[in-house]
Amino acid sequence: MEQSKQSLSDELVVLLNRLALNGDIHIAGHVLYAYVSRFWRLERDVAKQYVIQYFQENHPKQLQWYLKNRKKIRS
């Protein structure tokens, strides 16, 4: 990746943090996915993996809660 692709803008990080901490991690994932796929021009699979990795590193509790509750809803 290029140097400019290695970091997210401060405004985007603040938005993702607020959404994740308010329980809207699903929406935060959509926002991040759209950003990296459009502005960094990543392929779908690569963008999806980046989103998962971002939330595993920065918001593991919220991600685990979301995945746990997602399984309950689908059952």
Amino acid at 14: V
Q: Which pLDDT does position 72 carry in this prediction?
A: 72
| pTM for this predicted structure | 0.84
When pLDDT is cut at 50, 70 and 90, the band that residue 8 belongs to is very high
Both tokens assigned to 60: 């593991």
All structural domains of the chain with their residue ranges: 8-74
- 16-37 tens-digit pLDDT: 999 999 999 999 999 999 999 9
Q: How many helices (H) and strands (E) does the chain have?
A: 4, 0
Which H helix or E strand runs over 70? Answer: helix 60-74
The answer to whether the CB of 32 falls within 8 A of the CB of 16 is: yes
